[in-house]
Chains A and B, each alone.
Chain A
Amino acid sequence: MDDRVIIRFNHVTKQYDNDLPVLDDVSFEMERGKFYTLLGPSGCGKTTILRLIAGFIEPTKGDIYFHGKRMNNVPANKRQVNTVFQDYALFPHLNVFENVAFGLRIKKIGKEDIERKVKEALRFVNLEGYEQRAIHEMSGGQRQRVAIARAIVNEPDVLLLDEPLSALDLKLRTEMQYELRELQRRLGITFIFVTHDQEEALAMSDEIFVLNKGKIEQRGTPKDIYDEPVNRFVADFIGESNIITGTMIDDFVVEFANQQFACIDRGFAKNERVDIVIRPEDLELTTVERGKLRVRVDSVLFRGVHYELCCYDTYGNEWLVHSTKKADIGEEIGLHFEPEAIHVMKRSGGE
Protein backbone atom coordinates (compact mmCIF):
# COMPACT_ATOMS: atom_id res chain seq x y z
CA MET A 1 0.00 0.00 0.00
CA ASP A 2 1.22 3.42 -0.95
CA ASP A 3 1.91 5.25 2.30
CA ARG A 4 1.16 8.61 0.77
CA VAL A 5 -2.50 7.58 0.70
CA ILE A 6 -4.23 8.99 3.73
CA ILE A 7 -7.89 8.28 3.04
CA ARG A 8 -9.32 5.43 1.07
CA PHE A 9 -12.99 4.77 0.32
CA ASN A 10 -13.69 1.19 -0.65
CA HIS A 11 -17.09 0.72 -2.32
CA VAL A 12 -18.80 3.03 0.12
CA THR A 13 -22.56 3.37 -0.05
CA LYS A 14 -24.66 5.60 2.16
CA GLN A 15 -28.38 5.18 2.16
CA TYR A 16 -31.04 6.62 4.43
CA ASP A 17 -33.92 4.23 5.10
CA ASN A 18 -35.05 2.98 1.72
CA ASP A 19 -34.49 6.15 -0.25
CA LEU A 20 -32.15 6.30 -3.20
CA PRO A 21 -28.55 6.05 -2.02
CA VAL A 22 -26.99 9.42 -1.27
CA LEU A 23 -23.64 7.89 -2.07
CA ASP A 24 -23.55 4.98 -4.47
CA ASP A 25 -20.64 2.54 -4.36
CA VAL A 26 -17.91 5.13 -4.29
CA SER A 27 -14.22 4.24 -4.23
CA PHE A 28 -11.29 6.63 -4.22
CA GLU A 29 -8.01 7.45 -2.59
CA MET A 30 -6.67 10.72 -1.31
CA GLU A 31 -3.01 11.51 -0.75
CA ARG A 32 -1.54 13.44 2.13
CA GLY A 33 -0.69 17.09 1.75
CA LYS A 34 -2.92 17.81 -1.20
CA PHE A 35 -5.80 20.15 -1.70
CA TYR A 36 -8.86 18.19 -2.81
CA THR A 37 -12.16 19.65 -3.85
CA LEU A 38 -15.45 17.82 -3.93
CA LEU A 39 -17.53 19.62 -6.51
CA GLY A 40 -21.08 19.07 -7.50
CA PRO A 41 -24.61 20.41 -7.41
CA SER A 42 -26.49 20.34 -4.13
CA GLY A 43 -27.64 16.86 -3.22
CA CYS A 44 -24.83 15.17 -5.14
CA GLY A 45 -23.36 13.56 -2.02
CA LYS A 46 -20.31 15.76 -1.51
CA THR A 47 -21.25 16.75 2.01
CA THR A 48 -22.07 13.13 2.74
CA ILE A 49 -18.49 12.14 1.88
CA LEU A 50 -17.26 14.86 4.20
CA ARG A 51 -19.46 13.71 7.03
CA LEU A 52 -18.37 10.12 6.48
CA ILE A 53 -14.74 11.16 6.74
CA ALA A 54 -15.45 13.28 9.80
CA GLY A 55 -17.29 10.41 11.44
CA PHE A 56 -20.62 12.14 11.94
CA ILE A 57 -22.28 9.37 9.97
CA GLU A 58 -21.32 5.78 9.17
CA PRO A 59 -21.45 4.14 5.74
CA THR A 60 -24.28 1.74 5.01
CA LYS A 61 -21.92 -0.46 3.00
CA GLY A 62 -18.22 -0.40 2.28
CA ASP A 63 -15.15 0.63 4.27
CA ILE A 64 -13.28 3.81 4.99
CA TYR A 65 -9.53 3.60 5.64
CA PHE A 66 -7.25 6.18 7.25
CA HIS A 67 -3.56 5.45 6.88
CA GLY A 68 -4.61 1.98 5.79
CA LYS A 69 -6.57 1.35 8.99
CA ARG A 70 -10.28 0.70 8.81
CA MET A 71 -12.07 3.60 10.44
CA ASN A 72 -15.74 2.59 10.36
CA ASN A 73 -17.35 3.21 13.76
CA VAL A 74 -14.34 5.06 15.13
CA PRO A 75 -15.80 8.10 16.92
CA ALA A 76 -15.27 11.54 15.39
CA ASN A 77 -12.83 12.73 18.01
CA LYS A 78 -10.55 9.72 17.55
CA ARG A 79 -9.93 10.51 13.89
CA GLN A 80 -7.13 12.85 12.87
CA VAL A 81 -9.68 15.01 11.16
CA ASN A 82 -11.14 18.41 11.87
CA THR A 83 -13.95 20.30 10.24
CA VAL A 84 -14.57 23.91 9.31
CA PHE A 85 -18.33 24.23 9.16
CA GLN A 86 -20.36 26.13 6.62
CA ASP A 87 -21.75 28.59 9.15
CA TYR A 88 -18.51 28.43 11.13
CA ALA A 89 -20.25 26.85 14.16
CA LEU A 90 -18.43 29.19 16.50
CA PHE A 91 -19.64 29.32 20.07
CA PRO A 92 -21.36 32.69 20.39
CA HIS A 93 -20.89 32.84 24.16
CA LEU A 94 -17.11 32.44 24.05
CA ASN A 95 -14.52 34.91 22.85
CA VAL A 96 -12.03 34.17 20.08
CA PHE A 97 -9.42 32.69 22.38
CA GLU A 98 -11.88 30.40 24.14
CA ASN A 99 -13.38 29.28 20.86
CA VAL A 100 -10.02 28.18 19.59
CA ALA A 101 -9.07 26.71 22.96
CA PHE A 102 -12.31 24.74 23.27
CA GLY A 103 -10.96 21.43 22.00
CA LEU A 104 -7.71 21.76 23.94
CA ARG A 105 -9.61 22.42 27.16
CA ILE A 106 -11.72 19.33 26.58
CA LYS A 107 -8.51 17.35 26.21
CA LYS A 108 -7.30 18.79 29.52
CA ILE A 109 -4.08 20.17 28.12
CA GLY A 110 -1.95 22.35 30.39
CA LYS A 111 -2.61 26.06 30.57
CA GLU A 112 0.66 27.22 29.04
CA ASP A 113 0.38 24.72 26.21
CA ILE A 114 -3.12 25.93 25.42
CA GLU A 115 -1.95 29.54 25.43
CA ARG A 116 0.93 28.75 23.11
CA LYS A 117 -1.05 26.62 20.69
CA VAL A 118 -3.95 29.02 20.45
CA LYS A 119 -1.62 31.96 19.84
CA GLU A 120 0.13 29.97 17.14
CA ALA A 121 -3.11 28.96 15.45
CA LEU A 122 -4.34 32.54 15.49
CA ARG A 123 -1.05 33.71 14.05
CA PHE A 124 -1.47 31.20 11.26
CA VAL A 125 -4.75 32.77 10.23
CA ASN A 126 -3.51 36.34 10.76
CA LEU A 127 -5.69 37.03 13.77
CA GLU A 128 -3.08 37.94 16.33
CA GLY A 129 -4.36 40.42 18.86
CA TYR A 130 -7.99 39.41 18.44
CA GLU A 131 -7.96 36.93 21.34
CA GLN A 132 -10.35 38.79 23.60
CA ARG A 133 -12.86 39.80 20.91
CA ALA A 134 -16.39 38.50 21.16
CA ILE A 135 -17.54 36.51 18.15
CA HIS A 136 -20.32 38.94 17.30
CA GLU A 137 -17.74 41.72 17.03
CA MET A 138 -15.96 39.92 14.20
CA SER A 139 -16.71 40.27 10.51
CA GLY A 140 -17.67 37.33 8.34
CA GLY A 141 -14.14 36.83 7.05
CA GLN A 142 -12.68 37.02 10.53
CA ARG A 143 -15.16 34.49 11.85
CA GLN A 144 -14.15 32.25 9.02
CA ARG A 145 -10.54 32.49 10.14
CA VAL A 146 -11.43 31.81 13.75
CA ALA A 147 -13.21 28.68 12.56
CA ILE A 148 -10.09 27.62 10.68
CA ALA A 149 -7.89 28.39 13.67
CA ARG A 150 -10.15 26.29 15.85
CA ALA A 151 -9.79 23.40 13.45
CA ILE A 152 -6.03 23.55 12.95
CA VAL A 153 -5.20 24.05 16.63
CA ASN A 154 -5.92 20.36 17.10
CA GLU A 155 -3.22 19.52 14.56
CA PRO A 156 -5.32 17.28 12.35
CA ASP A 157 -3.94 15.32 9.39
CA VAL A 158 -6.96 16.21 7.34
CA LEU A 159 -8.97 19.40 7.36
CA LEU A 160 -12.50 19.22 6.05
CA LEU A 161 -14.06 22.44 4.79
CA ASP A 162 -17.79 22.37 4.16
CA GLU A 163 -18.55 25.22 1.76
CA PRO A 164 -16.79 27.58 4.12
CA LEU A 165 -16.76 30.52 1.74
CA SER A 166 -20.38 30.48 0.65
CA ALA A 167 -21.48 33.01 3.27
CA LEU A 168 -18.90 35.61 2.24
CA ASP A 169 -19.27 38.30 -0.35
CA LEU A 170 -17.52 37.92 -3.70
CA LYS A 171 -14.46 40.02 -2.96
CA LEU A 172 -13.80 38.43 0.41
CA ARG A 173 -14.39 35.02 -1.09
CA THR A 174 -11.67 35.54 -3.68
CA GLU A 175 -9.34 36.78 -0.99
CA MET A 176 -10.03 33.79 1.22
CA GLN A 177 -9.42 31.44 -1.72
CA TYR A 178 -5.85 32.70 -1.89
CA GLU A 179 -5.48 32.52 1.85
CA LEU A 180 -6.79 29.00 2.12
CA ARG A 181 -4.52 27.78 -0.62
CA GLU A 182 -1.58 29.49 1.02
CA LEU A 183 -2.54 28.10 4.41
CA GLN A 184 -2.73 24.59 3.03
CA ARG A 185 0.78 24.92 1.60
CA ARG A 186 2.18 26.20 4.88
CA LEU A 187 0.49 23.55 7.00
CA GLY A 188 1.21 20.77 4.54
CA ILE A 189 -1.86 18.81 5.58
CA THR A 190 -4.64 17.45 3.42
CA PHE A 191 -7.51 19.81 2.77
CA ILE A 192 -10.81 18.44 1.57
CA PHE A 193 -12.92 21.27 0.37
CA VAL A 194 -16.57 20.99 -0.52
CA THR A 195 -18.14 23.48 -2.85
CA HIS A 196 -20.69 23.88 -5.59
CA ASP A 197 -18.78 26.83 -7.02
CA GLN A 198 -16.75 25.59 -9.98
CA GLU A 199 -14.55 28.69 -10.17
CA GLU A 200 -13.56 28.19 -6.55
CA ALA A 201 -12.75 24.57 -7.27
CA LEU A 202 -10.64 25.37 -10.33
CA ALA A 203 -8.72 28.10 -8.57
CA MET A 204 -7.74 26.25 -5.44
CA SER A 205 -7.47 22.54 -5.97
CA ASP A 206 -4.71 20.08 -6.67
CA GLU A 207 -7.40 17.66 -7.62
CA ILE A 208 -11.11 17.90 -8.17
CA PHE A 209 -13.77 15.24 -7.73
CA VAL A 210 -16.86 16.07 -9.71
CA LEU A 211 -19.85 14.37 -8.17
CA ASN A 212 -23.34 13.83 -9.43
CA LYS A 213 -26.18 11.83 -7.92
CA GLY A 214 -23.96 9.99 -5.46
CA LYS A 215 -21.32 9.01 -7.97
CA ILE A 216 -17.95 10.42 -8.90
CA GLU A 217 -18.26 11.52 -12.51
CA GLN A 218 -14.65 12.52 -12.95
CA ARG A 219 -11.54 13.15 -10.90
CA GLY A 220 -8.48 14.99 -12.05
CA THR A 221 -6.51 18.19 -11.95
CA PRO A 222 -8.46 21.38 -12.62
CA LYS A 223 -6.88 21.57 -16.07
CA ASP A 224 -7.87 18.01 -16.96
CA ILE A 225 -11.38 18.54 -15.84
CA TYR A 226 -11.76 21.80 -17.66
CA ASP A 227 -10.12 20.73 -20.88
CA GLU A 228 -11.12 17.12 -21.01
CA PRO A 229 -14.52 16.67 -19.42
CA VAL A 230 -15.54 13.05 -19.71
CA ASN A 231 -19.21 13.69 -20.27
CA ARG A 232 -21.92 16.21 -20.78
CA PHE A 233 -22.56 16.68 -17.07
CA VAL A 234 -18.98 17.57 -16.23
CA ALA A 235 -18.63 19.82 -19.25
CA ASP A 236 -21.82 21.60 -18.37
CA PHE A 237 -20.99 21.94 -14.69
CA ILE A 238 -17.44 23.16 -15.13
CA GLY A 239 -17.40 26.48 -16.86
CA GLU A 240 -19.66 27.60 -19.64
CA SER A 241 -19.63 25.48 -22.73
CA ASN A 242 -21.36 24.78 -25.98
CA ILE A 243 -22.46 21.18 -25.91
CA ILE A 244 -24.08 19.78 -29.00
CA THR A 245 -24.57 16.31 -30.38
CA GLY A 246 -22.64 15.13 -33.37
CA THR A 247 -21.43 12.05 -35.15
CA MET A 248 -17.91 10.62 -35.18
CA ILE A 249 -17.39 9.91 -38.86
CA ASP A 250 -13.92 8.50 -38.44
CA ASP A 251 -10.86 9.04 -36.25
CA PHE A 252 -10.07 12.77 -36.29
CA VAL A 253 -13.24 13.60 -38.23
CA VAL A 254 -16.45 14.67 -36.54
CA GLU A 255 -19.68 15.91 -37.97
CA PHE A 256 -21.98 18.41 -36.37
CA ALA A 257 -24.20 21.21 -37.59
CA ASN A 258 -24.34 19.35 -40.89
CA GLN A 259 -20.62 19.88 -41.55
CA GLN A 260 -17.54 17.78 -41.07
CA PHE A 261 -14.65 19.13 -39.05
CA ALA A 262 -11.16 17.97 -38.31
CA CYS A 263 -10.53 17.19 -34.67
CA ILE A 264 -7.87 15.52 -32.56
CA ASP A 265 -10.02 12.83 -30.99
CA ARG A 266 -9.97 9.19 -31.91
CA GLY A 267 -10.95 5.78 -30.68
CA PHE A 268 -14.67 6.00 -31.29
CA ALA A 269 -16.70 3.61 -33.38
CA LYS A 270 -17.49 4.73 -36.89
CA ASN A 271 -20.61 6.89 -37.03
CA GLU A 272 -20.96 6.82 -33.25
CA ARG A 273 -23.19 9.53 -31.86
CA VAL A 274 -21.11 11.75 -29.57
CA ASP A 275 -21.30 14.97 -27.54
CA ILE A 276 -19.15 17.83 -28.74
CA VAL A 277 -17.84 20.51 -26.41
CA ILE A 278 -16.41 23.79 -27.58
CA ARG A 279 -15.61 26.36 -24.90
CA PRO A 280 -17.01 29.85 -25.63
CA GLU A 281 -13.54 31.40 -25.38
CA ASP A 282 -12.25 29.06 -28.11
CA LEU A 283 -14.70 30.46 -30.63
CA GLU A 284 -13.42 33.38 -32.62
CA LEU A 285 -15.50 36.04 -34.31
CA THR A 286 -14.81 36.48 -37.99
CA THR A 287 -16.52 37.25 -41.26
CA VAL A 288 -19.10 34.90 -42.71
CA GLU A 289 -16.78 33.87 -45.53
CA ARG A 290 -13.86 32.96 -43.28
CA GLY A 291 -15.88 31.30 -40.53
CA LYS A 292 -16.27 27.56 -40.17
CA LEU A 293 -19.75 28.13 -38.81
CA ARG A 294 -22.27 30.68 -39.92
CA VAL A 295 -24.44 32.03 -37.11
CA ARG A 296 -26.82 34.87 -36.37
CA VAL A 297 -26.26 36.97 -33.23
CA ASP A 298 -29.24 36.75 -30.89
CA SER A 299 -28.08 38.74 -27.90
CA VAL A 300 -24.99 40.50 -26.62
CA LEU A 301 -23.96 41.03 -23.02
CA PHE A 302 -21.04 43.15 -21.92
CA ARG A 303 -19.19 41.19 -19.21
CA GLY A 304 -16.30 43.53 -18.54
CA VAL A 305 -13.35 41.50 -19.83
CA HIS A 306 -15.29 40.32 -22.84
CA TYR A 307 -18.60 40.35 -24.63
CA GLU A 308 -20.83 37.36 -24.29
CA LEU A 309 -22.62 36.67 -27.53
CA CYS A 310 -25.45 34.25 -27.83
CA CYS A 311 -25.79 33.05 -31.42
CA TYR A 312 -27.86 30.47 -33.32
CA ASP A 313 -26.84 28.55 -36.39
CA THR A 314 -29.32 27.58 -39.08
CA TYR A 315 -29.96 24.20 -37.39
CA GLY A 316 -31.08 25.81 -34.14
CA ASN A 317 -27.94 25.03 -32.16
CA GLU A 318 -27.06 27.67 -29.61
CA TRP A 319 -23.49 28.97 -29.64
CA LEU A 320 -22.12 30.96 -26.74
CA VAL A 321 -19.13 33.08 -27.70
CA HIS A 322 -16.77 35.02 -25.49
CA SER A 323 -15.07 37.66 -27.56
CA THR A 324 -13.41 41.00 -27.14
CA LYS A 325 -14.99 42.05 -30.41
CA LYS A 326 -18.50 43.31 -30.49
CA ALA A 327 -21.20 42.26 -32.92
CA ASP A 328 -24.65 43.69 -33.51
CA ILE A 329 -27.79 41.84 -32.72
CA GLY A 330 -29.24 40.21 -35.81
CA GLU A 331 -25.93 40.35 -37.65
CA GLU A 332 -24.69 37.31 -39.55
CA ILE A 333 -21.20 36.35 -38.48
CA GLY A 334 -18.76 33.54 -38.94
CA LEU A 335 -17.17 31.52 -36.15
CA HIS A 336 -13.69 30.16 -36.44
CA PHE A 337 -12.06 27.56 -34.21
CA GLU A 338 -9.04 25.27 -34.19
CA PRO A 339 -9.32 21.48 -34.35
CA GLU A 340 -7.92 21.35 -30.77
CA ALA A 341 -10.89 23.37 -29.54
CA ILE A 342 -13.23 20.51 -30.36
CA HIS A 343 -13.56 18.05 -27.51
CA VAL A 344 -15.46 14.88 -28.27
CA MET A 345 -17.12 12.92 -25.45
CA LYS A 346 -18.99 9.66 -25.21
CA ARG A 347 -22.69 10.28 -24.92
CA SER A 348 -23.94 9.76 -21.42
CA GLY A 349 -27.35 8.25 -20.93
CA GLY A 350 -30.59 10.12 -21.28
CA GLU A 351 -31.41 12.64 -23.94
Chain B
Amino acid sequence: MGKGARVYHLSRYWIETAFPFLTSSNYRITSPESPDYNCIAWAAGTDDRWWWPDSQYTAYWPDGVPREETLRAFIQAYSRAGYVPCDTSDFESGSEKIAIYTDENGKPTHAARQTQAGRWTSKLGHQEDIEHDRPDNLTGSYYGAVAIIMKRPCPCQPPV
Protein backbone atom coordinates (compact mmCIF):
# COMPACT_ATOMS: atom_id res chain seq x y z
CA MET B 1 0.00 0.00 0.00
CA GLY B 2 1.57 3.29 -1.06
CA LYS B 3 1.66 6.10 1.47
CA GLY B 4 -0.18 8.43 -0.90
CA ALA B 5 -3.03 5.98 -1.40
CA ARG B 6 -3.30 5.35 2.33
CA VAL B 7 -3.39 9.05 3.17
CA TYR B 8 -6.01 9.61 0.45
CA HIS B 9 -8.18 6.84 1.83
CA LEU B 10 -7.89 8.14 5.39
CA SER B 11 -8.76 11.65 4.21
CA ARG B 12 -11.94 10.40 2.59
CA TYR B 13 -12.82 8.55 5.77
CA TRP B 14 -12.30 11.65 7.94
CA ILE B 15 -14.21 13.89 5.53
CA GLU B 16 -17.19 11.57 5.25
CA THR B 17 -17.30 11.11 9.01
CA ALA B 18 -17.27 14.87 9.61
CA PHE B 19 -19.73 15.73 6.84
CA PRO B 20 -22.42 13.06 6.70
CA PHE B 21 -24.05 14.50 3.58
CA LEU B 22 -20.92 13.89 1.56
CA THR B 23 -20.81 10.50 -0.10
CA SER B 24 -18.38 8.93 -2.52
CA SER B 25 -20.69 9.91 -5.38
CA ASN B 26 -21.19 13.62 -4.67
CA TYR B 27 -17.70 14.96 -3.99
CA ARG B 28 -14.07 14.51 -4.89
CA ILE B 29 -10.81 15.70 -3.35
CA THR B 30 -9.15 18.21 -5.66
CA SER B 31 -5.96 19.25 -3.84
CA PRO B 32 -3.47 18.14 -1.21
CA GLU B 33 -3.98 19.52 2.30
CA SER B 34 -2.54 22.97 2.95
CA PRO B 35 -2.18 25.15 6.04
CA ASP B 36 -1.57 28.23 3.89
CA TYR B 37 -5.14 29.28 3.11
CA ASN B 38 -8.66 28.63 4.31
CA CYS B 39 -12.14 28.42 2.85
CA ILE B 40 -12.81 32.15 3.18
CA ALA B 41 -9.76 32.97 1.07
CA TRP B 42 -10.50 30.16 -1.37
CA ALA B 43 -14.07 31.36 -1.90
CA ALA B 44 -12.65 34.83 -2.64
CA GLY B 45 -10.39 33.27 -5.26
CA THR B 46 -7.05 33.33 -3.45
CA ASP B 47 -4.88 30.56 -2.06
CA ASP B 48 -1.94 32.48 -0.62
CA ARG B 49 -3.23 33.49 2.80
CA TRP B 50 -5.60 32.69 5.65
CA TRP B 51 -8.57 35.06 5.93
CA TRP B 52 -10.26 35.58 9.26
CA PRO B 53 -11.28 38.64 11.34
CA ASP B 54 -9.52 37.45 14.50
CA SER B 55 -8.96 39.91 17.27
CA GLN B 56 -5.22 39.16 17.54
CA TYR B 57 -4.55 40.11 13.91
CA THR B 58 -2.94 36.79 13.06
CA ALA B 59 -4.95 36.41 9.83
CA TYR B 60 -5.63 38.59 6.82
CA TRP B 61 -8.83 40.61 6.69
CA PRO B 62 -9.64 43.29 4.11
CA ASP B 63 -8.83 46.81 5.26
CA GLY B 64 -11.82 48.83 6.35
CA VAL B 65 -14.06 45.83 7.01
CA PRO B 66 -15.01 45.35 10.69
CA ARG B 67 -12.80 42.74 12.27
CA GLU B 68 -15.69 40.83 13.81
CA GLU B 69 -17.07 37.33 13.40
CA THR B 70 -20.47 38.34 12.09
CA LEU B 71 -22.29 37.56 8.88
CA ARG B 72 -22.51 41.28 8.23
CA ALA B 73 -18.73 41.64 8.29
CA PHE B 74 -18.26 38.65 5.97
CA ILE B 75 -20.81 40.03 3.51
CA GLN B 76 -18.92 43.31 3.59
CA ALA B 77 -15.60 41.53 2.99
CA TYR B 78 -16.93 39.73 -0.06
CA SER B 79 -18.66 42.90 -1.27
CA ARG B 80 -15.17 44.35 -1.63
CA ALA B 81 -14.54 41.63 -4.21
CA GLY B 82 -17.70 42.56 -6.12
CA TYR B 83 -20.18 40.09 -4.67
CA VAL B 84 -23.79 41.08 -3.96
CA PRO B 85 -26.45 39.00 -2.18
CA CYS B 86 -28.69 36.90 -4.40
CA ASP B 87 -31.63 34.55 -3.95
CA THR B 88 -30.57 31.19 -5.29
CA SER B 89 -27.56 28.90 -5.49
CA ASP B 90 -28.68 27.69 -8.93
CA PHE B 91 -26.01 28.03 -11.58
CA GLU B 92 -26.25 31.14 -13.76
CA SER B 93 -24.03 31.44 -16.78
CA GLY B 94 -21.82 34.51 -16.48
CA SER B 95 -22.06 34.69 -12.68
CA GLU B 96 -19.79 33.40 -9.97
CA LYS B 97 -21.56 32.54 -6.73
CA ILE B 98 -20.42 31.93 -3.19
CA ALA B 99 -22.23 30.48 -0.18
CA ILE B 100 -21.49 31.66 3.38
CA TYR B 101 -22.32 29.23 6.18
CA THR B 102 -23.07 30.11 9.79
CA ASP B 103 -23.55 28.12 12.96
CA GLU B 104 -26.67 28.17 15.12
CA ASN B 105 -25.52 31.44 16.71
CA GLY B 106 -25.12 33.16 13.37
CA LYS B 107 -21.32 33.06 13.47
CA PRO B 108 -19.69 32.44 10.08
CA THR B 109 -17.99 29.08 9.79
CA HIS B 110 -17.32 28.39 6.13
CA ALA B 111 -17.60 29.62 2.57
CA ALA B 112 -17.82 27.76 -0.73
CA ARG B 113 -17.56 28.99 -4.33
CA GLN B 114 -19.42 27.77 -7.39
CA THR B 115 -17.29 26.65 -10.31
CA GLN B 116 -18.07 27.37 -13.92
CA ALA B 117 -19.14 23.75 -14.24
CA GLY B 118 -21.94 24.46 -11.76
CA ARG B 119 -20.42 22.44 -8.92
CA TRP B 120 -19.01 23.92 -5.69
CA THR B 121 -15.47 24.09 -4.40
CA SER B 122 -14.59 24.22 -0.70
CA LYS B 123 -11.39 24.27 1.30
CA LEU B 124 -11.86 22.22 4.45
CA GLY B 125 -9.97 23.97 7.26
CA HIS B 126 -6.27 23.21 6.80
CA GLN B 127 -7.12 20.04 4.93
CA GLU B 128 -7.86 19.50 1.25
CA ASP B 129 -10.00 21.32 -1.29
CA ILE B 130 -13.01 19.35 -2.41
CA GLU B 131 -15.49 19.77 -5.22
CA HIS B 132 -19.07 18.93 -4.26
CA ASP B 133 -22.47 18.93 -5.92
CA ARG B 134 -24.38 21.42 -3.78
CA PRO B 135 -23.76 23.88 -0.94
CA ASP B 136 -25.89 21.83 1.46
CA ASN B 137 -23.57 18.83 1.11
CA LEU B 138 -21.54 20.48 3.88
CA THR B 139 -24.30 21.35 6.31
CA GLY B 140 -24.07 19.76 9.74
CA SER B 141 -22.33 20.11 13.05
CA TYR B 142 -19.08 21.53 11.65
CA TYR B 143 -20.34 24.31 9.38
CA GLY B 144 -23.98 24.73 10.35
CA ALA B 145 -26.06 25.79 7.36
CA VAL B 146 -25.90 28.13 4.38
CA ALA B 147 -26.88 31.63 5.52
CA ILE B 148 -26.54 33.60 2.32
CA ILE B 149 -25.67 33.23 -1.35
CA MET B 150 -23.79 36.04 -3.11
CA LYS B 151 -22.80 36.50 -6.72
CA ARG B 152 -20.68 38.65 -8.99
CA PRO B 153 -20.05 38.74 -12.71
CA CYS B 154 -17.76 35.85 -13.49
CA PRO B 155 -14.18 37.18 -13.71
CA CYS B 156 -13.59 34.80 -16.62
CA GLN B 157 -16.26 36.50 -18.76
CA PRO B 158 -15.36 39.54 -20.86
CA PRO B 159 -17.41 42.62 -19.84
CA VAL B 160 -20.52 43.14 -21.96
Binding partners A and B: no
